[in-house]
Protein backbone atom coordinates (compact mmCIF):
# COMPACT_ATOMS: atom_id res chain seq x y z
CA UNK A 1 0.00 0.00 0.00
CA UNK A 2 1.02 3.61 -0.52
CA UNK A 3 2.78 5.35 2.35
CA UNK A 4 0.37 8.24 1.85
CA UNK A 5 -2.58 5.88 2.22
CA UNK A 6 -1.12 4.42 5.42
CA UNK A 7 -0.81 7.98 6.72
CA UNK A 8 -4.38 8.77 5.66
CA UNK A 9 -5.99 5.76 7.30
CA UNK A 10 -3.87 6.19 10.43
CA UNK A 11 -5.11 9.76 10.83
CA UNK A 12 -8.67 8.93 9.84
CA UNK A 13 -8.86 6.60 12.82
CA UNK A 14 -6.97 8.87 15.16
CA UNK A 15 -9.48 11.64 14.45
CA UNK A 16 -12.46 9.34 14.92
CA UNK A 17 -11.09 8.02 18.18
CA UNK A 18 -10.36 11.51 19.45
CA UNK A 19 -13.84 12.72 18.53
CA UNK A 20 -15.39 9.85 20.45
CA UNK A 21 -13.15 10.32 23.49
CA UNK A 22 -13.87 14.03 23.48
CA UNK A 23 -17.58 13.27 23.63
CA UNK A 24 -16.99 11.07 26.70
CA UNK A 25 -14.90 13.74 28.34
CA UNK A 26 -17.63 16.33 27.81
CA UNK A 27 -20.23 13.89 29.04
CA UNK A 28 -18.33 13.40 32.29
CA UNK A 29 -17.90 17.15 32.68
CA UNK A 30 -21.58 17.72 32.00
CA UNK A 31 -22.56 15.21 34.66
CA UNK A 32 -20.23 16.79 37.15
CA UNK A 33 -21.78 20.17 36.43
CA UNK A 34 -25.25 18.79 37.05
CA UNK A 35 -24.37 17.35 40.43
CA UNK A 36 -21.98 19.96 41.86
CA UNK A 37 -21.99 23.71 42.48
CA UNK A 38 -20.84 26.34 40.03
CA UNK A 39 -17.27 26.62 41.23
CA UNK A 40 -16.65 22.87 41.15
CA UNK A 41 -18.11 22.62 37.68
CA UNK A 42 -16.10 25.61 36.40
CA UNK A 43 -13.00 23.83 37.65
CA UNK A 44 -14.13 20.68 35.88
CA UNK A 45 -14.70 22.50 32.57
CA UNK A 46 -11.29 24.09 32.85
CA UNK A 47 -9.70 20.70 33.34
CA UNK A 48 -11.51 19.34 30.28
CA UNK A 49 -9.92 22.13 28.24
CA UNK A 50 -6.51 21.39 29.76
CA UNK A 51 -6.87 17.69 28.96
CA UNK A 52 -7.51 18.54 25.34
CA UNK A 53 -4.69 21.08 25.19
CA UNK A 54 -7.20 23.84 24.41
CA UNK A 55 -6.95 25.96 27.54
CA UNK A 56 -4.91 28.76 25.96
CA UNK A 57 -7.00 28.89 22.81
CA UNK A 58 -10.13 29.14 24.92
CA UNK A 59 -8.72 31.67 27.37
CA UNK A 60 -7.80 33.93 24.47
CA UNK A 61 -11.52 34.27 23.74
CA UNK A 62 -13.40 33.92 26.99
CA UNK A 63 -12.78 34.15 30.69
CA UNK A 64 -15.77 32.26 32.07
CA UNK A 65 -15.76 28.50 32.20
CA UNK A 66 -19.43 27.66 31.89
CA UNK A 67 -20.74 24.43 30.43
CA UNK A 68 -22.45 25.63 27.24
CA UNK A 69 -19.54 27.95 26.31
CA UNK A 70 -16.88 25.32 26.84
CA UNK A 71 -18.92 22.61 25.15
CA UNK A 72 -19.64 24.66 22.06
CA UNK A 73 -16.04 25.77 21.82
CA UNK A 74 -14.91 22.17 21.89
CA UNK A 75 -17.70 20.82 19.72
CA UNK A 76 -18.01 23.30 16.91
CA UNK A 77 -16.22 26.66 17.24
CA UNK A 78 -14.85 27.72 13.85
CA UNK A 79 -11.81 29.28 15.53
CA UNK A 80 -10.94 25.99 17.17
CA UNK A 81 -9.04 23.77 14.76
CA UNK A 82 -9.26 20.98 17.34
CA UNK A 83 -13.08 20.97 17.52
CA UNK A 84 -15.05 17.75 17.27
CA UNK A 85 -16.51 19.02 14.01
CA UNK A 86 -13.01 19.61 12.64
CA UNK A 87 -12.01 16.09 13.71
CA UNK A 88 -14.98 14.54 11.97
CA UNK A 89 -14.17 16.58 8.89
CA UNK A 90 -10.55 15.50 9.15
CA UNK A 91 -11.59 11.87 9.41
CA UNK A 92 -13.86 12.20 6.40
CA UNK A 93 -11.27 14.06 4.29
CA UNK A 94 -8.74 11.35 5.05
CA UNK A 95 -11.30 8.66 4.26
CA UNK A 96 -11.93 10.33 0.92
CA UNK A 97 -8.22 10.41 0.27
CA UNK A 98 -7.85 6.70 1.02
CA UNK A 99 -11.17 5.78 -0.56
CA UNK A 100 -9.57 2.88 -2.43
CA UNK A 101 -8.14 1.43 0.79
CA UNK A 102 -11.48 1.13 2.61
CA UNK A 103 -14.66 -0.73 1.81
CA UNK A 104 -17.77 0.96 0.56
CA UNK A 105 -19.42 0.29 3.95
CA UNK A 106 -16.63 2.02 5.85
CA UNK A 107 -16.68 4.97 3.48
CA UNK A 108 -20.44 5.35 3.63
CA UNK A 109 -20.48 5.06 7.42
CA UNK A 110 -17.83 7.77 7.64
CA UNK A 111 -19.56 9.99 5.10
CA UNK A 112 -22.93 9.57 6.79
CA UNK A 113 -21.41 10.32 10.18
CA UNK A 114 -19.94 13.50 8.80
CA UNK A 115 -23.26 14.55 7.26
CA UNK A 116 -25.18 13.76 10.46
CA UNK A 117 -22.78 15.58 12.78
CA UNK A 118 -22.27 18.52 10.43
CA UNK A 119 -26.03 19.08 10.42
CA UNK A 120 -26.33 18.50 14.16
CA UNK A 121 -23.48 20.87 14.98
CA UNK A 122 -24.69 23.56 12.59
CA UNK A 123 -26.38 25.17 15.61
CA UNK A 124 -24.98 25.59 19.14
CA UNK A 125 -25.72 22.72 21.49
CA UNK A 126 -27.91 23.63 24.47
CA UNK A 127 -28.12 21.95 27.84
CA UNK A 128 -31.37 20.32 26.76
CA UNK A 129 -29.85 18.54 23.77
CA UNK A 130 -26.19 18.21 24.78
CA UNK A 131 -26.71 14.62 25.90
CA UNK A 132 -28.22 13.76 22.55
CA UNK A 133 -25.40 15.45 20.62
CA UNK A 134 -22.72 13.64 22.62
CA UNK A 135 -24.57 10.35 22.26
CA UNK A 136 -24.74 10.81 18.49
CA UNK A 137 -20.99 11.42 18.28
CA UNK A 138 -20.32 8.19 20.20
CA UNK A 139 -22.82 6.24 18.13
CA UNK A 140 -21.39 7.43 14.81
CA UNK A 141 -17.86 6.48 15.85
CA UNK A 142 -19.15 3.07 16.88
CA UNK A 143 -20.89 2.76 13.52
CA UNK A 144 -17.68 3.36 11.57
CA UNK A 145 -15.74 0.97 13.81
CA UNK A 146 -18.41 -1.67 13.32
CA UNK A 147 -18.31 -1.28 9.52
CA UNK A 148 -14.55 -1.59 9.74
CA UNK A 149 -14.70 -4.70 11.86
CA UNK A 150 -17.31 -6.39 9.71
CA UNK A 151 -16.04 -5.67 6.22
CA UNK A 152 -12.31 -4.95 6.08
CA UNK A 153 -9.70 -7.42 5.02
CA UNK A 154 -7.24 -8.14 7.85
CA UNK A 155 -4.15 -6.79 6.12
CA UNK A 156 -1.70 -3.92 6.48
CA UNK A 157 -4.45 -1.36 5.81
CA UNK A 158 -6.42 -2.68 8.76
CA UNK A 159 -3.29 -2.72 10.92
CA UNK A 160 -2.57 0.95 10.25
CA UNK A 161 -6.17 1.84 11.10
CA UNK A 162 -5.94 -0.04 14.40
CA UNK A 163 -2.54 1.43 15.19
CA UNK A 164 -4.03 4.92 14.74
CA UNK A 165 -6.96 4.00 16.98
CA UNK A 166 -4.92 2.64 19.86
CA UNK A 167 -2.14 5.21 19.78
CA UNK A 168 -4.81 7.89 20.02
CA UNK A 169 -6.76 6.09 22.71
CA UNK A 170 -3.66 5.53 24.84
CA UNK A 171 -2.78 9.18 24.43
CA UNK A 172 -6.30 10.28 25.44
CA UNK A 173 -6.43 8.09 28.54
CA UNK A 174 -2.96 9.23 29.53
CA UNK A 175 -3.94 12.88 29.15
CA UNK A 176 -6.96 12.41 31.38
CA UNK A 177 -4.67 10.82 33.97
CA UNK A 178 -2.18 13.62 33.53
CA UNK A 179 -4.76 16.27 34.40
CA UNK A 180 -6.47 14.23 37.12
CA UNK A 181 -3.50 12.47 38.71
CA UNK A 182 -3.77 14.61 41.83
CA UNK A 183 -7.22 13.26 42.71
CA UNK A 184 -5.78 9.77 42.45
CA UNK A 185 -2.85 10.43 44.75
CA UNK A 186 -3.32 8.58 48.06
CA UNK A 187 -2.05 11.44 50.17
CA UNK A 188 -4.87 13.68 49.05
CA UNK A 189 -7.63 11.22 48.46
CA UNK A 190 -7.08 8.82 51.33
CA UNK A 191 -9.95 10.20 53.26
CA UNK A 192 -12.41 9.25 50.61
CA UNK A 193 -14.79 12.16 51.08
CA UNK A 194 -17.89 12.40 48.95
CA UNK A 195 -16.15 14.97 46.74
CA UNK A 196 -13.40 12.42 46.08
CA UNK A 197 -15.99 9.89 45.06
CA UNK A 198 -17.48 12.33 42.59
CA UNK A 199 -14.04 13.13 41.19
CA UNK A 200 -13.15 9.48 40.84
CA UNK A 201 -16.43 8.71 39.24
CA UNK A 202 -15.84 11.53 36.73
CA UNK A 203 -12.45 10.13 35.78
CA UNK A 204 -13.94 6.68 35.24
CA UNK A 205 -16.87 8.06 33.29
CA UNK A 206 -14.65 10.03 30.96
CA UNK A 207 -13.15 6.74 29.80
CA UNK A 208 -16.43 4.78 29.96
CA UNK A 209 -14.95 2.71 32.78
CA UNK A 210 -17.34 3.41 35.67
CA UNK A 211 -19.51 0.39 35.17
CA UNK A 212 -16.63 -2.04 34.60
CA UNK A 213 -14.74 -0.75 37.63
CA UNK A 214 -17.72 -1.03 39.95
CA UNK A 215 -18.44 -4.51 38.72
CA UNK A 216 -14.86 -5.63 39.30
CA UNK A 217 -14.75 -4.07 42.76
CA UNK A 218 -18.20 -4.86 44.01
CA UNK A 219 -19.09 -1.16 44.16
CA UNK A 220 -16.02 -0.16 46.17
CA UNK A 221 -13.76 2.62 44.95
CA UNK A 222 -10.29 3.81 45.84
CA UNK A 223 -7.76 6.04 44.15
CA UNK A 224 -4.99 3.50 43.78
CA UNK A 225 -7.40 0.91 42.41
CA UNK A 226 -8.65 3.36 39.78
CA UNK A 227 -5.12 4.28 38.71
CA UNK A 228 -4.21 0.60 38.46
CA UNK A 229 -7.37 -0.06 36.47
CA UNK A 230 -6.70 2.70 33.92
CA UNK A 231 -3.01 2.01 33.52
CA UNK A 232 -2.44 -1.69 34.02
CA UNK A 233 -5.65 -3.67 33.63
CA UNK A 234 -5.29 -5.45 30.28
CA UNK A 235 -8.98 -6.37 30.25
CA UNK A 236 -10.25 -2.80 30.10
CA UNK A 237 -10.34 -1.53 26.48
CA UNK A 238 -9.28 2.01 27.31
CA UNK A 239 -6.40 1.19 29.65
CA UNK A 240 -2.84 1.91 28.61
CA UNK A 241 -1.94 -1.78 28.92
CA UNK A 242 -4.81 -2.83 26.67
CA UNK A 243 -3.95 -0.22 24.01
CA UNK A 244 -0.29 -1.26 24.02
CA UNK A 245 -1.14 -4.93 23.71
CA UNK A 246 -3.24 -4.05 20.62
CA UNK A 247 -0.43 -1.93 19.22
CA UNK A 248 1.95 -4.83 19.77
CA UNK A 249 -0.23 -7.33 17.94
CA UNK A 250 -0.91 -4.99 15.01
CA UNK A 251 2.76 -4.10 14.62
CA UNK A 252 3.56 -7.82 14.85
CA UNK A 253 1.12 -8.49 11.97
CA UNK A 254 2.89 -5.85 9.91
CA UNK A 255 6.28 -7.41 10.64
CA UNK A 256 4.94 -10.81 9.60
CA UNK A 257 3.44 -9.48 6.37
CA UNK A 258 6.47 -7.38 5.46
CA UNK A 259 9.07 -9.85 6.68
CA UNK A 260 10.93 -7.40 8.89
CA UNK A 261 10.72 -5.44 12.12
CA UNK A 262 11.47 -1.74 12.36
CA UNK A 263 12.60 0.79 14.92
CA UNK A 264 8.98 1.22 16.00
CA UNK A 265 8.85 -2.44 17.05
CA UNK A 266 11.82 -1.97 19.32
CA UNK A 267 10.39 1.19 20.91
CA UNK A 268 7.09 -0.50 21.50
CA UNK A 269 8.67 -3.62 22.95
CA UNK A 270 10.50 -1.52 25.53
CA UNK A 271 7.40 0.49 26.41
CA UNK A 272 5.29 -2.65 26.66
CA UNK A 273 7.82 -4.27 28.95
CA UNK A 274 7.74 -1.26 31.27
CA UNK A 275 3.95 -1.50 31.53
CA UNK A 276 4.10 -5.23 32.01
CA UNK A 277 6.72 -5.40 34.70
CA UNK A 278 5.60 -2.55 36.88
CA UNK A 279 3.02 -2.46 39.69
CA UNK A 280 0.82 0.39 40.79
CA UNK A 281 2.82 0.59 44.03
CA UNK A 282 6.02 1.19 42.09
CA UNK A 283 4.33 3.77 39.87
CA UNK A 284 2.95 5.73 42.83
CA UNK A 285 6.23 5.41 44.67
CA UNK A 286 8.32 6.86 41.87
CA UNK A 287 5.66 9.44 40.95
CA UNK A 288 2.37 8.95 39.14
CA UNK A 289 2.77 12.25 37.35
CA UNK A 290 6.27 11.50 36.12
CA UNK A 291 5.11 8.10 34.91
CA UNK A 292 2.31 9.64 32.84
CA UNK A 293 4.52 12.36 31.38
CA UNK A 294 7.05 9.72 30.32
CA UNK A 295 4.31 7.59 28.85
CA UNK A 296 2.90 10.42 26.72
CA UNK A 297 6.38 11.26 25.41
CA UNK A 298 7.01 7.61 24.59
CA UNK A 299 3.66 7.37 22.80
CA UNK A 300 4.67 10.29 20.57
CA UNK A 301 8.01 8.64 19.81
CA UNK A 302 6.25 5.43 18.76
CA UNK A 303 3.90 7.37 16.45
CA UNK A 304 6.81 9.21 14.85
CA UNK A 305 8.79 6.02 14.38
CA UNK A 306 5.84 4.32 12.66
CA UNK A 307 5.36 7.31 10.33
CA UNK A 308 9.01 7.20 9.40
CA UNK A 309 9.49 3.42 9.17
CA UNK A 310 6.48 3.01 6.91
CA UNK A 311 7.14 6.06 4.73
CA UNK A 312 4.01 8.04 5.56
CA UNK A 313 5.55 11.09 3.87
CA UNK A 314 8.40 11.72 1.49
When the beta carbons of 193 and 249 are compared against another protein, the nearer one is 249
Please give the size of the binding site for another protein, defined by CB under 8 A: 23
Identify the DSSP state of 182. Answer: G
Is there binding between residue 100 and another protein (CB under 8 A)? yes
Is there binding between residue 139 and another protein (CB under 8 A)? no
Among the listed ranges 53-61, 65-73, 101-109, 193-201, the one in contact with another protein (CB under 8 A) is: 101-109
Per-position b or e across 215-250, b if 16+ CB within 10 A of its CB? eeeeeebbbbbbbbbbbbbeebebbbbbbbbbbbeb
177-216 footprint of another protein as x/- string (CB under 8 A): ----------------------------------------
Is there binding between residue 108 and another protein (CB under 8 A)? yes
Among the listed ranges 2-10, 70-78, 237-245, 281-289, the one in contact with another protein (CB under 8 A) is: 2-10
Confirm if 22 and 84 have CB atoms less than 8 A apart.
yes
Residues in 285-314 that interact with another protein by CB under 8 A: 310-311, 314
The CA angle 227-230-233, to the nearest 5 degrees, is 105
Is there binding between residue 269 and another protein (CB under 8 A)? no
Among the listed ranges 42-50, 103-111, 169-177, 285-293, the one in contact with another protein (CB under 8 A) is: 103-111
Among the listed ranges 4-12, 57-65, 143-151, 235-243, the one in contact with another protein (CB under 8 A) is: 4-12
Is there binding between residue 261 and another protein (CB under 8 A)? no
Residue 163 beta carbon to another protein: minimum distance, rounded to whole angstroms: 12
Is there binding between residue 111 and another protein (CB under 8 A)? yes
143-162 footprint of another protein as x/- string (CB under 8 A): -------------x---x--
Identify the DSSP state of 62. Answer: -
Is there binding between residue 55 and another protein (CB under 8 A)? no
Q: In the chain, what is the straight-line distance between the N-terminal and C-terminal CA atoms, in Å? A: 14
Q: What are φ and ψ of residue 79, in 5° steps?
A: -80, 0
E-strand spans in 31-118?
A: none
- C-alpha separations of 25 from 29, 30, 57, 96, 278 in Å: 6, 9, 18, 28, 28
Out of 36, 99, 224, 263, point to the residue binding another protein (CB under 8 A).
99
When the beta carbons of 104 and 211 are compared against another protein, the nearer one is 104
Q: Is 19 exposed, middle or buried (0-12, 13-18, 19+ CB in 10 A)?
A: buried
When the beta carbons of 226 and 303 are compared against another protein, the nearer one is 303
Residues 6+ apart with CB under 8 A from 82: 52, 53, 54, 57, 74
When the beta carbons of 267 and 292 are compared against another protein, the nearer one is 267
The CA angle 205-75-125, to the nearest 5 degrees, is 95
67-96 footprint of another protein as x/- string (CB under 8 A): --------------------------x--x
The CA angle 52-54-23, to the nearest 5 degrees, is 45
CA-CA distance, 31 to 210, in Å (whole number)?
Answer: 13
- Contact positions toward another protein, by CB under 8 A? 1-6, 93, 96-97, 99-100, 104, 107-108, 111-112, 115, 156, 160, 258, 310-311, 314
Amino acid sequence: MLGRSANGIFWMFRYLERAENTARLLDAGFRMALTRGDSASAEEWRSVLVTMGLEQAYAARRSDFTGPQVCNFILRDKDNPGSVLAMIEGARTNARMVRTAITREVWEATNESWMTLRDMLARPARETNLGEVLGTIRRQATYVRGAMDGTMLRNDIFNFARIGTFLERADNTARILDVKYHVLLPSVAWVGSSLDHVQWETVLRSVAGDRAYRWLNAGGMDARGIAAFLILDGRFPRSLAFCYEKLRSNLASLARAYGEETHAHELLRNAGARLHQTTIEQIVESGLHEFIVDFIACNIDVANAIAQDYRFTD
